[in-house]
Structure 1
Amino acid sequence: MTGKQREFGLGASIALTVASAALWGVAHLATHRHRMGIALMAAYVLMLAGVLTVFTAFSTRLLSLAVQPGWLTVLTGALVGIALAWTAVIIRSFLLVRPDSSDTAGRFLTTTLAAALCALVLAPTAYATRMAYLSRDVVSHVFATTTSSAPVVAQDPWNGAKRVNFLLIGADAAPGRPGVRTDSMTVASVDTETGATTLFGLPRNLQKVQLPHGPARSRFPFGFTGDGPSTPGLLNEIFQYAEDHPEMVPGVGKGKRGPSLLKRTVSDILGIPVNYYAMVDMKGFAEIVDAMGGVRVTVKDPIVYGKYREGLLPAGTRKLSGEEALWYGRSRTDSDDYVRMGRQKCLLNAVAKQADPMTVLKSFEKLAAATKRAISSDVPQDLLPALIELSDKVKDTRIRSLSFVPPLISTVTPDWYLIRRKVSEALDERPANRSASAHHSAAPTQDPETPVSLDAACG
């Protein structure tokens, strides 16, 4: 039965087309196609119930699913299928109730309306599909493909470990200087149950660093001393030295030798296993901050920045651009390495607290592009859902920090035993002590042996 036989005027055609887009089957019922109309309504209700169930009962796991390439493919397919079915319903409903062919203006208006409704359905789907593609691309580009045939167990992805330790590296490839220097090295030790996190900062200029057993220790039995005047033998040179000397890490490919040796070296220094690493290129970090729309930090003292001292960050709480955040974290003018280390941890803390889901969604495409350029890691893809859940716990806790800098540790003749003892004490603190430490507001240099809350130290 056609629109003409039912004598639908312009107003009725518009109303029924819009109603059918909002609730499938309305136009079919209006044209006495009751069986099809009821079937479409039932399908629509079931689809809506499924979507609501996913976004309510499984809302906490949606972000976890978004970092799994397989689930992203399924999600994309489902979205495309729903959008195409919805578009087909709109078009069919329009054909059933459109005005008579003699009503040229009415035909034009209702055709335009139907096309607009189809676009209204397809545009969000195209955007969601684009986001799913970008997510898959970032995950595949940044994170390691799982090599183990055994999947991560959902009930205990950490295999019974009470803590998981991540080496966070800030890399700086300066113009005119070959290779990469790891000028920022921090181990984040995270309680897998509570998310309580302690950051252990290692200065870039630690000397006589003992390398792991094997070829590396054989070459430098009395500690790393570099390779000539251009490499004075500091901790921040080990990464590039391993990349330039494959025999130091036999059997490990290019691009992985540096992280592998540095992880093992840092693990020996701190006396805890370093499970994974994440390295951020400092210039790329500025792009990430810009993609977030800036990061708000408290600048305690004015900071001069720029190669020729052309900039100044005034004291106070303010939102920094990517370039300003980069200099906030790297400037040593009128300060030193140890003050800079403190600022870097404050910056990490601020980014972690402010990178909420809405911020990520608003700038997703820019963040995805910047992340691909700036970050590398050996975290396996199948561990990402558990890592997402763990990061949510971390946001609800106070992040504490302990830096092994003077006067606690001499960078020229480090006391390795003292470093390992302080790490053990920091991680073995009882809840009462931990609570007191979390509210400790003194600056790190006032009590260098006690981990301090970053929220307090940076605020």
Structure 2
Amino acid sequence: MTLASTLLWGVAHLAAERRRTGLALMVAHVLMLAGVLTVFTAFSVDLLSLAVQPRWLIVLTVALVVIALAWTGVIVWSFLLVRPPRSDTVGRLLTTTLTIALCALVLAPTAYGARLAYVSRDVVNSLFSTTSSTPVVAEDPWSGAERVNFLLVGADAAPGRPGVRTDSMTVASVDTETGATTLFGLPRNLEQVRFPAGPARDRFPGGFTGSVPDTPGLLNEVFQYAEDHPDMVPGVQKGKRGPALLKQTIGDILGLPVNYYAMVDMKGFAELVDAMGGVKVTIEDPIVYGRSREGLLPPGTRKLTGEQALWYGRSRTDSDDYVRMGRQKCLLNAVAKQADPMTVLNSFERLAAATKRAISTDLPQELLPAAVDLAQRVKDTRIRSLSFVPPLINTAYPDWSQIRRKVSEALSHRPSTRSATAGRPRSPERTPEAPVSLDATCR
């Protein structure tokens, strides 16, 4: 009877001839289960948005605890009504043990769920600021923008080289209505980078030259140079100067407003891969492994550890920057595909800890629900990619007008038209036939 009451509240009460209480418990249990099933089926997409909002994570935790305590209370109450008489010592021992086990069966998942909610809340509060430069309107969180542009940065540091170098820089331009996405990859060795109007351009009117003669003045040095020279971005605090100038610079190069950035530290990326149990990739050509060429990643499909994945995306031995850029895109694509819900749940706390150490961003908490919704649309579309590497672009003498023209052509190629109710006019120069180069397909 206690076991039956665990599965359907009120069974033991009916057996004990407490019909009103038993029926009331049954109705309450059925309504509760119906509500939970409705939430997890009809509103599954909305749950993803709620999962990145700290206040709703608190509500979820409280709701889980209340349900678990109520369920445990019903189990104990049911047992007290139908337990064997005192004379039946063996029966009492067995049924008491069963009741304790049933209570644990209910409380353990609740404790785990509450723990996940707490860790999620901690990650959200650690990574995302609570203040937004512009108010977020629920009906249109992107403030009427046709596209939102995210700068995705892979940062690396090396022995004997001070500071951080942004060796991987990609702008993801996402259609806010359809989710259609185009990636624009910029090589780290782009020279004579022009800065947007302001103090940075005043210091380098002919293009960025770095700290002569210590550095060559490449695009991947802009981030650290801004951090080391406050006058390049006046009024911006340390830790934010680099992202601010890099966003402005890359936005000016592409002719796009870069709205937000996310930076992944490469060592932290290795921790993320280890936390999810490795990542499976197909290696086309042998890749030298380690700084002293002590190893080799042979061709074939294999699961890489975090350190091996780091070298897969970092190595330039017997190749070049542009081959490496392609491997980095393949690696990120593989990680995204293989980070399925079961993998994430099994390694959630390790992934959360690695995420806090590896990732920084200026995306505000207020936009997280909209970003989750946008990500779901992106998953349903084909992601196009254009990299500004030779022979398309001469990295020593870049043709800035050509880069902007190629960006405009790429964004004019739309796989589907926007709805008539969107109310967003297209630029007259955009034509559906505009070409866009695509990177090699990853396997």
Which position in structure 1 is the counterpart of 2:302?
A: 318
Cα shift at 1:233: 1.1
Q: Judge which range, 124-133 or 347-356, deviates more.
A: 347-356
Match of 1:188, SS state, is strand
Separation of aligned partners in 2, 1:37 and 1:416 = 76
> Which of 37, 43, 53 is residue 68 of structure 1 equivalent to?
53
Cα shift at 1:254: 1.4
Cα shift at 1:430: 4.8
Which position in structure 2 is the counterpart of 1:174?
A: 158
Which position in structure 1 is the counterpart of 2:233?
A: 249
Which position in structure 1 is the counterpart of 2:363?
A: 379
Match of 1:458, SS state, is coil
Separation of aligned partners in 1, 2:153 and 2:134 = 29
Any idea what the Cα deviations from partners look like across 1:333-376, whole Å, max 9, x if unmatched? 00011111111111122222332323322221111111111000
Separation of aligned partners in 2, 1:189 and 1:151 = 20
8 Å CA contact 1:171–1:184 kept in 2: the answer is yes
Over 3 Å counting, the alpha-carbon distance change for 1:364 and 1:81 in structure 2 is same
Letter in 2 for 1:173: A
Separation of aligned partners in 1, 2:29 and 2:136 = 36
Letter in 2 for 1:114: T
Is 1:138 equivalent to 2:123 in the alignment?
yes
Over 3 Å counting, the alpha-carbon distance change for 1:399 and 1:149 in structure 2 is closer
Which position in structure 2 is the counterpart of 1:40?
A: 25
Tell me the TM-score normalised to structure 1 length. Answer: 0.89
Is 1:220 equivalent to 2:204 in the alignment?
yes
Separation of aligned partners in 2, 1:170 and 1:43 = 52
Cα shift at 1:68: 0.9
Tell me the TM-score normalised to structure 2 length. Answer: 0.92
Over 3 Å counting, the alpha-carbon distance change for 1:377 and 1:396 in structure 2 is same
Which position in structure 1 is the counterpart of 2:437?
A: 451
Any idea what the Cα deviations from partners look like across 1:421-444, whole Å, max 9, x if unmatched? 111111112549xxxxxxxxxxxx
8 Å CA contact 1:158–1:192 kept in 2: the answer is yes
- Structure 1: segments with no counterpart, 5+ residues: 1-15, 433-448
Separation of aligned partners in 1, 2:135 and 2:402 = 39
Which position in structure 2 is the counterpart of 1:96?
A: 81
Cα shift at 1:165: 0.9
Which position in structure 1 is the counterpart of 2:224?
A: 240
Is 1:280 equivalent to 2:264 in the alignment?
yes
Matched-pair identity in %: 77
8 Å CA contact 1:207–1:413 kept in 2: the answer is yes
> Which of 354, 364, 374 is residue 370 of structure 1 equivalent to?
354
Match of 2:170, SS state, is strand
Match of 1:60, SS state, is helix
Match of 2:441, SS state, is helix
Separation of aligned partners in 2, 1:266 and 1:357 = 34
8 Å CA contact 2:136–2:367 kept in 1: the answer is no
Cα shift at 1:159: 2.0
Match of 2:246, SS state, is helix
Cα shift at 1:175: 2.4
8 Å CA contact 2:145–2:176 kept in 1: the answer is yes
Match of 1:410, SS state, is coil
Q: Judge which range, 276-285 or 301-310, deviates more.
A: 301-310
- Structure 2: segments with no counterpart, 5+ residues: 417-434
Match of 2:158, SS state, is coil
Separation of aligned partners in 1, 2:402 and 2:239 = 32
Cα shift at 1:149: 7.5
8 Å CA contact 1:299–1:314 kept in 2: the answer is yes
Separation of aligned partners in 2, 1:195 and 1:147 = 23
Within 5 A, what are the aligned runs for 1:345-424?
A: 345-424=329-408
8 Å CA contact 1:208–1:224 kept in 2: the answer is yes
Over 3 Å counting, the alpha-carbon distance change for 1:149 and 1:430 in structure 2 is closer
Match of 2:70, SS state, is helix
Aligned length: 426
Separation of aligned partners in 2, 1:303 and 1:450 = 29
Separation of aligned partners in 1, 2:344 and 2:177 = 25
Separation of aligned partners in 2, 1:336 and 1:97 = 76
8 Å CA contact 1:349–1:399 kept in 2: the answer is no
8 Å CA contact 1:352–1:395 kept in 2: the answer is no
Separation of aligned partners in 1, 2:133 and 2:387 = 35
Separation of aligned partners in 1, 2:436 and 2:132 = 40
Cα shift at 1:450: 4.0
Query: Cα RMSD between the aligned structures?
Result: 1.7
Over 3 Å counting, the alpha-carbon distance change for 1:366 and 1:152 in structure 2 is farther
Cα shift at 1:148: 5.1
> Which of 169, 192, 196 is residue 185 of structure 1 equivalent to?
169
Separation of aligned partners in 1, 2:148 and 2:297 = 36
Letter in 2 for 1:201: G
